[in-house]
């Protein structure tokens, strides 16, 4: 099992190439509001996360994930 801060750091690395605005990332950083990602960016990023962790994030799950902290929880749950 990966600990939360370790998972946050891994996901932060994956977010960086998509962080065009240079937003300071925290668990409360929202993908739509803070990072201003459009649906294409979200899909590209989700594919990157799925490939990296060898998981599948369903469309329903994606709809519920609004910020980095929720993504950390979801990926930990899917990789356990």
Q: Which helix (H) or strand (E) holds 62?
A: helix 59-64
pLDDT at residue 60, rounded to an integer: 95
Average pLDDT over residues 62-78: 96
Task: State pTM to two decimals.
Answer: 0.92
With beta carbons less than 8 A apart as the criterion, state whether 48 and 35 touch: no
| 67 CB-contact burial (10 Å; exposed 0-12 / middle 13-18 / buried 19+) | middle
- Give the tens place of pLDDT for each residue, 1-57: 469 999 999 999 999 999 999 999 999 999 999 999 999 999 999 999 999 999 999
Residue 80: what pLDDT? Answer: 87
- Kindly list the structural domains of the chain, giving each domain's residue range(s) and its CATH number in brackets, ordered by start: 4-79 (1.10.1200.10)
Find tokens 């099992």 and name the residue.
Answer: 1
């Amino acid at each position: 099992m990966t600990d939360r801060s370790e998972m946050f750091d891994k996901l932060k690395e994956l977010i960086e190439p998509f962080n065009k605005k240079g937003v300071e990332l925290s668990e409360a950083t929202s993908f739509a509001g803070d990072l201003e990602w459009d649906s294409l960016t979200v899909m590209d990023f989700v594919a990157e996360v799925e490939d990296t962790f060898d998981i599948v994030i369903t469309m329903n799950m994606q709809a519920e994930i609004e910020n980095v902290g929720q993504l950390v929880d979801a990926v930990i749950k899917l990789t356990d």
